[in-house]
Amino acid sequence: QKEVEQDPGPLSVPEGAIVSLNCTYSNSAFQYFMWYRQYSRKGPELLMYTYSSGNKEDGRFTAQVDKSSKYISLFIRDSQPSDSATYLCVVTISYSGAGSYQLTFGKGTKLSVIP
């Protein structure tokens, strides 16, 4: 079983739609959760990070973590064509100390927002 499973898509939605992107992970040792966004022909960039179960909002983006079911979600409200990218869920074991540099990436979900 892969450590992080993510539906690769592609996912195509009309502008203004609510988008839901999801990941599952297998190791309960993972404690910190991130979403990176990768535009075509670019490197990934950090979008959001959280360490607790529950929701974290940043503008149109909401990250949701359920540690009991090992499930991570990213919601995008009022999606825009500029949101078209690949979204990578990322987990790591600790905030600092041994192993904290090791980010485990999902394979990414490719999103297209159609005007």
What number of other Cβ atoms are within 10 A of residue 21's Cβ?
A: 22
Binding of other proteins by 107 (CB under 8 A): yes
Name the residue nearer to other proteins (CB basis): 41 or 115: 41
Least separation, in Å, of the C-beta of 62 and other proteins? 19
How far apart (Å, rounded) are the C-alpha atoms in residues 83 and 75? 12
Structure tokens at 101: 């540099």
Within residues 35-74, the interface with other proteins by CB under 8 A covers: 41-46, 49, 51
Structure tokens at 75: 């919601």
Sites of contact with other proteins (CB under 8 A)? 32, 34, 41-46, 49, 51, 88, 92-103, 105-108
